[in-house]
């Protein structure tokens, strides 16, 4: 039942074979184990394991995937593989270790966003769903904006992107709602992802 929540997405402009599989888990119990698999470079666990509290929305997460996939196709990866590159892509600066500290899974991660890209034909929705189902101890929740906004720690995200002074509710507009401010925060974050490494 839990495996059915794995979302398989075809991003515009990526080759059709490159499906993106995304799952979100709350109350994850075995974050240290999952992180250990990454540290030991266990190829079975080649995933982007992201701390979901620093993810604002679907668009935020998928923008990082798009950037990593584009860099992958252009032979420009800065990290080990496309999955580590997704975590790195979330980071506004070019420090890889820092990107994992800020955006990657930590031992205390409770809400986890897992991304896997079909870089080989063997990686399918079913194979990813089965593997995650077996190893991630947590409650699967849908990968949608409603869920992510519940998990997101806006203050932490602002800090990670150095947008501390950004007003989430623009004062100059009479109808300056919370939504407008969040939209602006999201666009600022997307811009930071897009421009990382620009010299």
Partner 1 sequence: MTTTYHPPPLPPPFHHTLTPNLTTTSPIPMELITQGAEAHLYKTTYLSPATPAALKIRPAKPYRHPVLDRRLTRQRVLQEARCLVRLVREGVSVPGVLAVDWDLNSNSNSNSNSNSNENGNGNENSRGEGQGEGNTGSEDNGTEAKAGNGAWILMEWIEGIALKEVFRGWEASLKDNNRDENTAEEQAAAAAEERVKALLRKIGVAVGGLHRAGVVHGDLTTSNLMLRPTPSGQQSGKGEKVEGDGDEGEIVLIDFGLASQSIQDEDRAVDLYVLERAFGSTHPRTERLFGEVLEGYRGSYRGAGSVMKRLEDVRMRGRKRSMLG
Site residues, partner 1 (CB under 8 A): 9-16, 59, 62-63, 66-67, 69-70, 72-76, 163, 166-167, 170, 172, 175, 184, 187-188, 190-192, 194-195, 198
Q: Is the distance from CB of 24 to CB of 143 less than 8 angstroms?
A: yes
Nearer to partner 1, 35 or 83 (CB): 83
**In the complex, least distance from residue 130 CB atom to partner 1, rounded to whole angstroms:** 23
Nearer to partner 1, 27 or 126 (CB): 126
**In the complex, least distance from residue 56 CB atom to partner 1, rounded to whole angstroms:** 13
> What is the rounded CA–CA span in Å between residue 17 and residue 111?
29
Nearer to partner 1, 17 or 42 (CB): 17
Q: Is the distance from CB of 62 to CB of 11 less than 8 angstroms?
A: yes
Relative orientation angle of helices 96-103 and 82-90, to the nearest 10 degrees = 80
Nearer to partner 1, 96 or 192 (CB): 192
**In the complex, least distance from residue 198 CB atom to partner 1, rounded to whole angstroms:** 5
Nearer to partner 1, 9 or 123 (CB): 9
Nearer to partner 1, 10 or 101 (CB): 10
Q: What's the Cα-to-Cα distance from 132 to each of 73, 87, 152, rounded to whole Å?
A: 26, 18, 22
**In the complex, least distance from residue 13 CB atom to partner 1, rounded to whole angstroms:** 5
What the block records as the tokens of 71 is 């860099």
**In the complex, least distance from residue 178 CB atom to partner 1, rounded to whole angstroms:** 15
Which has the closest alpha carbon to 100: 83, 84, 115?
A: 84
Interacting residues of 75 by C-beta distance below 8 A, sequence separation 6+: none
Q: Is the distance from CB of 50 to CB of 142 less than 8 angstroms?
A: no
**In the complex, least distance from residue 3 CB atom to partner 1, rounded to whole angstroms:** 22
Does residue 24 sit in helix, strand or coil? strand
């Amino acid at each position: 039942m839990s495996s059915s929540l794995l979302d398989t997405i075809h991003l515009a402009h990526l080759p059709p074979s490159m499906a993106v599989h995304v799952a979100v888990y709350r109350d994850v119990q075995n974050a240290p184990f999952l992180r250990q698999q990454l540290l030991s470079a266990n190829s079975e666990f080649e995933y982007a394991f992201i701390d979901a509290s620093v993810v604002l929305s679907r668009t935020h997460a998928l923008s990082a995937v798009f950037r990593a996939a584009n860099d992958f196709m252009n032979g420009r990866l800065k990290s080990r593989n496309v999955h580590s590159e997704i975590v790195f892509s979330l980071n506004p600066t070019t420090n890889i270790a820092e990107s994992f500290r800020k955006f990657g899974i930590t031992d205390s991660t409770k809400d986890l966003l897992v991304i896997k890209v079909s870089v080989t034909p063997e990686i399918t929705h079913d194979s990813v769903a089965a593997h995650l189902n077996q190893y991630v101890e947590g409650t699967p929740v849908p990968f949608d904006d409603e869920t992510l906004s519940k998990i997101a720690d806006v203050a932490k995200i602002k800090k990670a992107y150095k947008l501390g002074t950004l007003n989430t509710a623009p004062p100059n507009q009479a109808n300056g709602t919370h939504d407008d401010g969040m939209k602006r925060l999201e666009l600022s974050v997307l811009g930071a992802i897009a421009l990382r490494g620009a010299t």
